[in-house]
Amino acid sequence: MLPGSRPRGRYRGRVDTVRWGIIGVGDVTERKSGPAFQQAERSQLVAVMRRDAARAEDWARRHGVGRWYSDADALIADPEVDAVYVATPPDSHADYAARVAAAGKPVYVEKPMARTAAECQDMVAAAEGAGVGLFVAYYRRALPRFRAVAGLLAEGRIGQPRSVLVRTQQPARVGGELPWRERPEVGGGGHFVDLASHTLDLLDWLFGPVTTVTGSATTRPDRDPDRPTPRAEDQVVATFELGGGVRGVGLWDFDAAVRVDEVELVGDGGSLVFSCFGTEPLRLVTSGGTEEIETEQPTTVQLPLVQSVVDELTGHGTCPSTGRTASRTAGVVDTLLAGHRQAEAARVAALV
């Protein structure tokens, strides 16, 4: 290695600062994630890419980033880019992750990690084969809100955890062009894949991996029955078991009149109720009454997780969300959507 050059690959503890490039500077990078690479310690954002050159240049100008590209391979090959954040829709994650890994650079990928567990496993194999880190943006694992949940469990505030109840509801979208989150060929499914994956991954972190899961997914028969591509699921029901024998039940309904976002952890000494996507206080219920617990919410919600990625890459800590942990969540999603995907494939085939 030439004197003064920076090592490539995972380079744990071998550099003081990680210089990032972003592939896909869309909406998620405006506030939720992009600024985190500038705000984290030992981190710099040095280049961004979007296929629309004008939009890439505009993003770079507004966020004070020195270089922009309209070609992903050019960003990946940039010698000043040490690690890459892939913020595109899920259908391109596996390809971009493989290309970044082949360049010997760590990769941080938006969630869902990919469309299927098989694609996730390909990404893990590419990263491990190249000897680079692979991290996934399940940022709830690092948020103070859910660190507080983990702390309350560790303190025994609900006693021995016994069960989990998950309920997520929201009204269906009415009219307009289908967003990628409702196009299974892009996102792997619908809002269940996009939202429930966060909750399932959080439960994996709190209690350990799902050991068994059963359930089913459906779409209203009268919803676009002649659509020539697979329709997204709008209702999923599930029963599952987590580490330590904690059993769970989940309902995700994206054709409901009323919005609901609630997770309840039930123990033999009380229960803890919270939303997965909101910021209202946690609610601890015991025989002594109900206690509301306020938690911190960072302005840039991905900052704590991005900091953990930088910490791992510079030898100052570890990241709790990796390709392997995210692949487990994808496997649970695949199991619950298997029947629906088969039914939609048959429906589409019958239209031809």
Average pLDDT, the chain: 95
Residue 173 has a pLDDT of 87
- What does the pLDDT look like over 316-336, one tens digit per residue? 999 999 999 999 999 999 999
Q: What is the mean pLDDT of residues 27-51?
A: 97
Q: Are residues 281 and 167 in the same domain?
A: yes
Of 91, 121, 139, the last residue of a domain is 139
pTM for this prediction = 0.94
Residue 327 lies in a domain: yes
- What does the pLDDT look like over 195-229, one tens digit per residue? 999 999 999 999 999 999 999 999 999 999 999 99
- Does the pLDDT value for residue 339 go beyond 60? yes
Which 3-state string (H, E, C) describes the chain? Answer: CCCCCCCCCCCCCCCCCEEEEEECCCHHHCCCCCCHHHHCCCEEEEEEECCCHHHHHHHHHHHCCCEEECCHHHHHHCCCCCEEEECCCHHHHHHHHHHHHHCCCCEEECCCCCCCHHHHHHHHHHHHHHCCCEEECCHHHCCHHHHHHHHHHHCCCCCCEEEEEEEEECCCCCCCCCCHHHCHHHHCCCHHHHHHHHHHHHHHHHHCCCCEEEEEEECCCCCCCCCCCCCCCCEEEEEEECHHHCEEEEEEECCCCCCEEEEEEEECCEEEEECCCCCCCEEEEECCEEEEECCCCCCCCCHHHHHHHHHHHCCCCCCCCEHHHHHHHHHHHHHHHHHHHHHHHHHHHHHC
Q: Are residues 329 and 226 in the same domain?
A: yes
- Of 22-26, 161-165, 170-174, 259-263, the range with the lowest mean pLDDT is 170-174
- Does the pLDDT value for residue 6 go beyond 50? no
Q: Are residues 229 and 337 in the same domain?
A: yes
Residue 13 lies in a domain: no
Q: Are residues 119 and 249 in the same domain?
A: no
Q: Are residues 132 and 150 in the same domain?
A: no
Domain interval for residue 109 = 18-139
- Does the pLDDT value for residue 309 go beyond 60? yes
- What does the pLDDT look like over 139-181, one tens digit per residue? 999 999 999 999 999 999 999 999 999 999 999 988 888 999 9
Total domain count for the chain?
2
Q: Are residues 52 and 105 in the same domain?
A: yes
